[in-house]
A = this chain, B = another copy of it.
Amino acid sequence: MAKKVVTFGEIMLRLATPGYQRIIQATSFDATYAGGEANVAASLANYGIDAYFVTKLPKHEIGQACRAFLRKYGIKTDYILMDGDRLGVYYLETGASQRPSKVIYDRANSAIAKVKPGEFNWEEIFSGADLFHFTGITPAISDSAAKVTLEAVKAAKKAGVIVSCDLNYRKKLWTSEKANKVMSGLMEFVDYVIANEEDAEKVFGIKADNTDVKTGDLDDSGYRQVARELLERFHLKKVAITLRESYSASDNGWSALLYNGMEYYKSKKYNIHIVDRVGGGDSFAGGLIYGLLSGMSDHEALEFAVAASCLKHTIPGDFNMVSIDEVKNLMAGDGSGRVQR
């Protein structure tokens, strides 16, 4: 029987300028729907997991279109509440070479930001679930969303569900101080933590020595230490850290490491020519969760996650749309990109 995974958070209308247009040039926007936890659910749905995304959407046509988008990609929408006034929006300008991609959020006062404790029936939601995933964005969007997140992790724990969290620090949403406080309260219920090369420092002040994110000089040993500190401080089962080496907006190195309290695993590194890098981290989380739930070893799961997210960088939109076979082919070493007929 398919595993059941629940993810909870905000989904937004993503309005991206076509090609490499700057926003001032755009006379149309490509419209998809995206958000950290929905992105993870999309990955999982592709791998055959019963992936439920929990959120609150306005009843009007934009909310309906968002729900239809989720359904299209196989995400279960049964627990979504249809209420509230607005869906958040994010504008995306895709960068190239030395010009970075730029994201402008217009997400305040969304339906999910105004959610109140007690609105979701977490007991029903976690019934039969294997894993619950959220990111650090969800508690950051509003105080009440933070409360509902706490409600959710407690209910998950009570239901015996594994809890996974991607730290995903967003400086536009809260300060490091507030993030530290809120996230520390949630960590008690968390089993797996995923972070990128900046999150641990920004949220918990745990810094890798000898690294410079901007130049892409990512010192492995520093991040091993970060993983260990995270795991120990919060009594986690596993910590995974993604390592992005940003040579430019067009070309990145991409790898990750995982620490399970006993062993460190370092994945293969992929040099990626980028089509769309937004959602890259979420596709890693989706791959890792699938790997761990489907019985892979920690090392295999890590390699699966990195290969899956490598492929994500070649797909427009936040969602990763790759099959298990495609990921495994890449893990097995076929990165040749030869035409498949």
Contact = CB atoms under 8 A, between A and B. Distances in A.
Interface string A238-250: 0000001011111
B311 A99 contact: yes
B249 A337 contact: yes
A223 to B, nearest CB: 17
A296 interface: no
B28 A98 contact: no
A31 B31 contact: no
A175 B274 CA distance: 37
Contacts of A31: 15, 26-29
Given A26-B65, A31-B28, A336 B247 contact: yes
B27 A341 contact: no
Interface residues of A, number: 89
Interface centre among A91, A98, A278 (most CB of B within 10 A): A98
A20 B98 contact: no
B341 A103 contact: yes
Interface stretch (A116-124, A141-149, A315-323): A315-323
Interface in A193-229: 213-216
B28 A335 contact: no
A85 interface: yes
A86 interface: yes
Interface stretch (A1-9, A70-78, A153-161, A257-265): A70-78
B272 A98 contact: yes
A109 B62 CA distance: 19
Interface centre among A61, A250, A316 (most CB of B within 10 A): A61
Interface centre among A322, A339, A340 (most CB of B within 10 A): A339
Which 8 pairs show the lowest CB-CB distances between chains A and B?
A249-B337, A72-B72, A246-B336, A23-B61, A99-B314, A96-B314, A98-B335, A97-B273
